[in-house]
């Protein structure tokens, strides 16, 4: 909860306005991808110049006006990683309030389709087994997504077969 001093009423005590954190930051919708390839999952490390520097995340980005979550995800993965993916499943969104922003993170399980990973914004990336995900220093909003990804016993591909 934030308190702001607005002024004085006839020289007496200050008038305070309450602004609740829920209203302080508008909720921004953001997508992220749990990218699967050959039984591994891709994690990307934020660069030093980004907010939450050097934290790990599932790549994605902000949904632009008039854009669906799915089209945002495809666009962001092309722009940030130079890859194409196939969306398999949309997961439950995660809401997180940072001190600088409030986000609604919409995770998708996706299969890598094509493209060589070329980083345009991130510092590094890793392909990890599910049990290795917990070793990374995740951005706070990505923690529940990483826990969900690590808990998958398998993730189905589009043809219904299971990926390890």
pLDDT digits (tens, 9 = 90+) for 87-137: 999 999 999 999 999 999 999 999 999 999 999 999 999 999 999 999 999
Strands 102-114 and 27-37: parallel
Count: domains in the chain: 1
Instruction: Flag the least confident range among 21-25, 147-151, 157-161.
Output: 157-161
Look up the domain containing 97 and give its range.
Answer: 25-153
Compute the distance between CA of residue 108 and CA of residue 122 in angstroms, rounded to an integer: 19
Domain assignment present for residue 12? The answer is: no
First to last CA, the chain: 45
Closest alpha carbon to 112 in 72, 78, 150, 69: 78
In a domain, 159, yes or no: no
Give domain status of residue 66, yes or no.
Answer: yes
> pLDDT over 90 for what percent of the chain?
74
* Residue 109: inside a domain: yes
CATH code (residue 50): 3.90.79.10
Q: Is residue 1 part of a domain?
A: no
Q: Global pTM?
A: 0.79
Separation CA 149–CA 156 (nearest Å): 13
How far is residue 151 CA from its own chain's centroid? 18
Q: Residue written as tokens 């992220």?
A: 32
Cβ atoms of 63 and 100 within 8 Å: the answer is no
Contact present, 48 and 82 (Cβ < 8 Å): no
What was the pLDDT predicted at 162? Answer: 47
3 against 129, higher pLDDT:
129
Q: Which residue(s) pair with 41 in the sheet?
A: 36, 128
Measured CA to CA, the distance from residue 81 to residue 29 in angstroms comes to 20
Give the tens place of pLDDT for each residue, 42-61: 999 999 999 999 999 999 99
Instruction: Please report whether residue 90 resides in a domain.
Output: yes
Q: Is 93 helix (H, G, I), strand (E, B) or coil?
A: coil
Q: What value does the mean pLDDT of the chain take?
A: 84
Contact present, 122 and 46 (Cβ < 8 Å): yes
| Rounded Cα–Cα distance for residues 23 and 97 (Å) | 11
């Amino acid at each position: 909860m934030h308190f702001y001093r607005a002024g004085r009423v006839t020289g007496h005590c200050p008038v305070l306005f309450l602004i609740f954190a829920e209203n302080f930051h508008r909720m921004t919708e953001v997508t992220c991808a749990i990218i699967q390839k050959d039984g591994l999952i891709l994690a990307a490390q934020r660069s030093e110049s980004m907010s939450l520097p050097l934290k790990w995340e599932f790549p994605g980005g902000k949904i632009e006006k008039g854009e669906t979550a799915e089209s945002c995800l495809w666009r962001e993965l092309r722009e940030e990683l130079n890859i194409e993916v196939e969306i398999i499943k949309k997961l439950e969104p995660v809401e997180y309030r940072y001190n600088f922003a409030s986000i609604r993170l919409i995770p998708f399980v996706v299969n890598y389709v094509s493209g060589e990973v070329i980083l345009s914004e991130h510092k590094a990336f890793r392909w990890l087994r599910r049990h290795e995900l917990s070793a990374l220093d995740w951005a706070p909003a990505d923690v529940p997504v990483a826990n969900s990804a690590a808990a998958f016993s398998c993730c189905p591909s589009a043809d219904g077969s299971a990926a390890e």
